[in-house]
C-alpha cells in the first residue's frame, strides 16, 4: 500500500487542499491520502487551536470517504511538528507501507529549510502539486487555484465572502465557533 502524506497547517483548509488530495489520488500511484495537520508549526507560526484545525480537516476530507484519512499523529508526537519525525514514526508504526510526500510547488524553493530534507527525499517519493503563481522546474503543468489560508483568514476577518474558497462544512464550523473573527451563526444545515 502506498500512502500520500499531506501535511500542513490547514488554518483553515480550503478547496485547493481538497484539489491537492484529488490530484494525488487521481494521477499518482497511491492508495490513499493521509491528511496531517501540524500540531505546532516548526517555524513558530501562530495557529488556530489544533482541535479546531483537526475538525475542519475532517470536514474538508469527508467527501473523499475512506480514500482520505485525517490523522492526529502530530499531536501524539508533541511539538514542534517535523515532517521527518512524523514520517519515521509512521513508517515504524506501519511497516511495509510506502509513503509519498505531497508538496506544493511554492514549498519547493524552501525545502533546504526543512529539518532533514535529504532524508525525507530518500524515504519517500515526492508528489509536487502546482500552485498558481509559484512555478518551479519540478512542478506539473497543472496548477491549483491561487487560494491561501492567510488570505481566507483575512477575508473572513474583514467580513468577506469566502464561500467559493472554503468547503461549506468547514465554513459552517468557522461560523459556529466564531473563528478568524467570523460572526457566530448556526450551520446552514444543507
The pLDDT value given to residue 43: 64
Rounded-to-5 percentages of helix, strand, coil across the chain? 45, 15, 40
Phi and psi for 149 in degrees, rounded to 5? -60, -35
Higher-pLDDT residue of 144 and 69 is: 69
Candidates 141, 116, 117, 118; CA nearest to 128 is 141
pTM for the model stands at 0.91
Candidates 102, 9, 90; CA nearest to 50 is 9
Check whether 188 has a pLDDT greater than 90: no
The DSSP element (H or E) to which 3 belongs, if any, is: strand 2-8
Count of Cβ atoms closer than 10 Å to residue 158 Cβ: 9
The answer to whether the CB of 128 falls within 8 A of the CB of 160 is: no
Look-up of cell digits 499523529: 73
Query: Which residues lie across from 34 on neighbouring strands?
Result: 5, 69
The full length of the chain comes to: 190
The answer to whether the CB of 32 falls within 8 A of the CB of 4 is: yes
- Residue 106 pLDDT class (50, 70, 90 cuts): confident
Phi and psi for 7 in degrees, rounded to 5? -105, 155
Per residue in 44-59, pLDDT (tens digit) is 678 999 999 999 999 9
Per residue in 5-51, pLDDT (tens digit) is 999 999 999 999 999 999 999 999 999 999 999 998 766 678 999 99
Candidates 19, 55, 24; CA nearest to 37 is 55
Amino acid at each position: 500500500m502506498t500512502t500520500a502524506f499531506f501535511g500542513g497547517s490547514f488554518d483553515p483548509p480550503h478547496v485547493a487542499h481538497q484539489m491537492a488530495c484529488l490530484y494525488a489520488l487521481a494521477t499518482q500511484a497511491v492508495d490513499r491520502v493521509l491528511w496531517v495537520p501540524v500540531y505546532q508549526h516548526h517555524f513558530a507560526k501562530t495557529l488556530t487551536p489544533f482541535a479546531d484545525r483537526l475538525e475542519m480537516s475532517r470536514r474538508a476530507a469527508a467527501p473523499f470517504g475512506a480514500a482520505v484519512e485525517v490523522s492526529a499523529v502530530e499531536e501524539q508526537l508533541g511539538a514542534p511538528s517535523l515532517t521527518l519525525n512524523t514520517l519515521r514514526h509512521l513508517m515504524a508504526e506501519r511497516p511495509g507501507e510506502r509513503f509519498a510526500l505531497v508538496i506544493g510547488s511554492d514549498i519547493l524553493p524552501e525545502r533546504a529549510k526543512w529539518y532533514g530534507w535529504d532524508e525525507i527525499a530518500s524515504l519517500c517519493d515526492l508528489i509536487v502539486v502546482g500552485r498558481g503563481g509559484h512555478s518551479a522546474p519540478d512542478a506539473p503543468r497543472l496548477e491549483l487555484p491561487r487560494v491561501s489560508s492567510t488570505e481566507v483568514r483575512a477575508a473572513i476577518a474583514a467580513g468577506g465572502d469566502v464561500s467559493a474558497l472554503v468547503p461549506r462544512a468547514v465554513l459552517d464550523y468557522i461560523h459556529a465557533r466564531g473563528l478568524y473573527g467570523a460572526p457566530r451563526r448556526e450551520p446552514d444545515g444543507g
